[in-house]
Every structure is written in C-alpha cells, then in structure tokens.
Structure 1
Amino acid sequence: MNSFSGFFQKHREFLWYTLFGCGTVAINYITYLFCESFLQINYLISIVAAWFLSFLFAFITNKLFVFQSKSFQWLLLLKEFGGFLVCRVFSLGIELVTMFISVGILHWNDKWMKLISNGIVILINYIGSKLVIFRDRNK
C-alpha cells in the first residue's frame, strides 16, 4: 500500500465529507444567490430554498459515500432520514438566527454572512451526522 492510499484509507470519511461538503455549500450558496439576487426573494426565504436543495444532495452523498450506509431497509432509512432532517433543521435554525441578527439587525453584508454561517453549519452537521445519524451503519 503506497502512502497516498494509506492516507486516503485513514482519512477517507473526512476527505469525502470535505469534498461533498464543498458541493453542498456550492449548491446552497448558488441557490441562495439566485433566489435573493436574481429573483429578489427575501434573504430569509432564500436561505430556506437553498437549504432544501442542499439538504437533498447532502443526505444522499452522506449516506452513500461519506458514512457508507448501504442499507435501504425502510426502518433504517426512515431513522437516518429523520435524524438527518432533525439535525439539518436545527442547523438551519442557527443559520436563520445568525443571518437575522447579522443582516436584519446589524445590516452586515448578507453574501459574506451567508458564507460565515455556512462554516458554522458545516461543523454542526458533521458532528450530528457522525455521532448520531450514521453511527450504526451497514457497510
């Protein structure tokens, strides 16, 4: 086993989470920009629209690639989806509060605050996914 292969195996989960996390952030941020800037939708509603699309992408990629939960038994799938939904709704709430305070009250730049709040959300979502949602995965 060469050193790259060994490094990848040792850090596989984190590397996949980082890769798909970047994809999730890109989907989230681009959707937000499209809704808020192009469609002129309120920034808080744009956050929810962006969350919905990135939520779907994140669940599929986290289940299959990051945490390698290969089971599609209905009970396990519902448990994982429900846990993922609860965790992501919690982090959405944190993002909405952060954005409301920073943009709605303090009038800071929404584009920068969206990126900063996404950083906080990524950490919360990783911890929730790793420790709660996909901890008992079938490989």
Structure 2
Amino acid sequence: MEKIKAWILKYYEGLAYLFFGGLATLLNLVLFAAFQALLGTDFATGIGNILDNVICILFAYWTNRVFVFRSKNTGWAAVVEFGQFISCRLITLVMDQCIIWLGVNLLGPHIGFAVAHVELWAMGVKFFSQAIVILSNYVFSKVLIFKKK
C-alpha cells in the first residue's frame, strides 16, 4: 500500500491532469454532441464549438489551479496567472476551431469514401482535435502558466 501511495504522490500532477483534463474533454465532447443533436452540425462546428470551449476553459482553469498544479498565487499574481491561462487556451481554441473547420467543412465532403453520417464524421474530427488540444494545453500549463517558482 505504501508503494502505491508513493507512486501516486510521485506522479500526482500528471495523474490529476489526466483525470481533470479527461473531465474537461468529456464535458467538451458532451456539449459538442448536445449542440449537434439539438441545433445541427453547422451550429456545433461553429458557434457551438466556441461556446463549449469557453465553458470548458473556465472549468479547466478552476480544476488546474486548485487540484492539478495547486497554485498559491493571490492578488495580482493570480490575475496574471488567469490571463496567461486564458491567452493560451484561446490559442488552443483557435487551433480546435481550425481543425474542426478543416476536418468537417473542407475534408468532409471531399474524402473519397462514404461517410454514413455527417454527425459521426464531425464527432470523429472533434475527437482528433481534442487529442491535439489536450497535449498543447498541458505544455502551456506546465511550462508557461503554473510553473513552480
């Protein structure tokens, strides 16, 4: 039991990032699917994708600050930290939106093989995009935002 506890403590940050990042990703995918089901693929891949990203950015900031990187910043330092987080996440929001647009609107109709459902194709592109976004967000968070002093 002590070995398991030591292993968890040693890798806590990575494990916590995977867990809470997984929750944020799940929330992002569920919101995308809900927008798609309720308002259509065009909405989900446009305004809906931006809305689900904004919601998930706020959720991710809170979980990263409190549970993953355990930031102790207060006052102006906390404001700067939040600003850096939002700035980096806006970069990955743009990446996500570009991947969605390219994958669904540009590649989707011209892929050369039958896609049974446009919705399924869009969700697959969203999964692909999330993999790239997750890795980018971790690097930004670890290297630029929540760095240890």
The answer to whether the superposition gives a TM-score over 0.5 is: yes
Q: TM-score, with normalisation over the residues of structure 2?
A: 0.86
Matched ranges for 1:81-120 at <5 A:
81-107=82-108, 109-120=121-132
Q: Percent identity at matched positions? A: 30
Number of residue pairs aligned between Structure 1 and Structure 2: 136
Measured in 2, the distance between the counterparts of 1:39 and 1:27 equals 17
1:131 aligns with 2:143: yes
Tell me, what secondary structure is at the counterpart of 1:68? coil
Measured in 1, the distance between the counterparts of 2:11 and 2:4 equals 11
Q: 2:53 aligns with which of 51, 54, 58?
A: 51
Tell me by how many angstroms 1:95 deviates.
0.9
Rate the CA distance shift 1:117–1:29 in 2: closer, same or farther, 3 A: same
Measured in 2, the distance between the counterparts of 1:84 and 1:3 equals 34
Which is worse superposed, 19-28 or 35-44?
A: 35-44
* Code of the aligned partner of 1:79: V
Cα shift readout 1:29-58 (whole Å, capped 9, x = no counterpart) = 111111122123251211101101111110
Matched ranges for 1:45-84 at <5 A:
45-71=47-73, 73-84=74-85
Unaligned runs of 5+ in 1: none
Contact 2:24 2:56 in 1 (8 A): yes
Unaligned runs of 5+ in 2: 110-120
Which is worse superposed, 93-102 or 125-134?
A: 93-102
Measured in 2, the distance between the counterparts of 1:33 and 1:49 equals 12
Aligned CA RMSD, in angstroms, stands at 1.4
Contact 2:57 2:89 in 1 (8 A): yes
Measured in 2, the distance between the counterparts of 1:136 and 1:74 equals 17
Misfit runs of 4+, over 3 Å: none
Which is worse superposed, 17-26 or 107-116?
A: 107-116
1:17 aligns with 2:29: no
